[in-house]
Amino acid sequence: MNKRVVNEFLQLVVLDNPSKDERKVADYILARLKELGYGAYEDQAYLVTGGNTGNIICKIEGNPDKDKVMFLSHMDSVMPCNGKVPVINDIYIESSKNTILGSDDLSGVASMLELAAALANKEVTGGDVYLIFTISEEIGLLGAKNLDLSKINADYAYVLDSGGDIGTASISAPSHISFTVKIRGKAAHAGMEPEKGINAMVVASKAIAKMQIGRIDEETTCNLGVIKGGNAKNIVCEEIIIDGECRSRNEEKLNLVYNDIMTVFQDTVNENHCTIDISSTKEYSSFLISDEDEALIKFEKACQLMNLPFKKEHGGGGSDTNIIYSKGIKALNISTGMDKVHSVEERIKIDDLFKISELIKIIVSL
């Protein structure tokens, strides 16, 4: 069995890689690609994100008659990701439980570097391959959002950034709106003249009680996640700030749910003589890959050739896939086997690292 991908992964995970500080991982990737004889460049997305690293883009030329395939993984991990020490046993590579492991998404990075090595050694051949390593995915898909795809002529893309058995593809993910609502009432002394105040906390509660929150239907959810406000228990609460979000795989439903929530807030605030300030951000748009899409056909074929069970899933979160898709390249998110991510229990099966790197080699060769 080819040990390169495991070595690659072990060398990568010991590098500190918080969002906006992906320098060490980027330098490793750039050196590795250079060693393999490939030119790669780093873009200037850091000028927008405020980090110290840009996205890395590498084109590996292949047979011009074959499909041009793009692979993408992100270089950053969630905290705590400094001082990672991988623990290896027979089946898994695990975190030391003091930090996360970093398989999200360095398993994707390692697999893509293994693909580059296999292409350099002519162990596999195919069409043009684009390798994209993004920054600051974990803090809002910032690298992908600021990635210039105009020079990237890929037919379709695979984002290596999800979990589950190898052979699992997320073929859709929802659109996402996040919002902040500020309700302002009037402060007054709670004991001496409470009737002169308007309690923003009470008004917010009245509004929230009228809303449908949680799962709206099988493709739509909404949540109020943070509520802050008030200054002291003897002051009528003057201001409440609420952070929330809505998600749906259906754009129309997303807007409907969002507008319903805001109408309830607005009406309740008006009835109670408060003021309201609403701000919202469209975090990303949904994507949907159909059975006819070449990216999915190739993926299923590669799974069959490796005797892996092929599984399609509808994702509930956002990833760089949403951004790449919205920029016009059909993309799906495929599992690298990463498990228990965003926790100090994070782990990955050694065998899954082999499988995912073999799987993408087969995709290229088809």
To the query of whether residue 217 is one of the catalytic residues in this protein, the response is no
Residue placing its CB nearer to Zn ion in the complex, 73 or 357 = 73
Residue placing its CB nearer to Zn ion in the complex, 94 or 104 = 104
Residue placing its CB nearer to Zn ion in the complex, 104 or 238 = 104
* Candidate ranges 10-18, 19-27, 99-107, 264-272; the one touching Zn ion (CB under 5 A): 99-107
Binding-site member from 43, 67, 104, 339 for Zn ion (CB under 5 A) = 104
Q: What residues between 124 and 163 interact with Zn ion by CB under 5 A?
A: 161
Closest approach of Cβ 22 to Zn ion, in Å?
13
Confirm if 185 and 328 have CB atoms less than 8 A apart.
no
Residue of 22, 43, 67, 76 marked active site: 76
To the query of whether residue 128 is one of the catalytic residues in this protein, the response is no
Q: What residues between 67 and 96 interact with Zn ion by CB under 5 A?
A: none
Confirm if 42 and 49 have CB atoms less than 8 A apart.
no
Fill in the per-residue mask, 157 to 196: x = in contact with Zn ion (CB under 5 A), - = not in contact. ----x-----------------------------------
Closest approach of Cβ 224 to Zn ion, in Å?
25
358 binds Zn ion (CB under 5 A): no
CA count, 13 A, side-chain hemisphere, 42: 20
Residue of 22, 67, 104, 137 marked active site: 137
Please work out the total of residues on this chain that contact Zn ion, with binding judged by CB under 5 A: 3
Residue placing its CB nearer to Zn ion in the complex, 317 or 328 = 317
Residue placing its CB nearer to Zn ion in the complex, 21 or 104 = 104
* Candidate ranges 20-28, 41-49, 100-108, 231-239; the one touching Zn ion (CB under 5 A): 100-108
Confirm if 298 and 363 have CB atoms less than 8 A apart.
yes
105 binds Zn ion (CB under 5 A): yes
Closest approach of Cβ 278 to Zn ion, in Å?
30
Residues annotated as part of the active site: 76, 137
Binding footprint of Zn ion on the chain (CB under 5 A): 104-105, 161
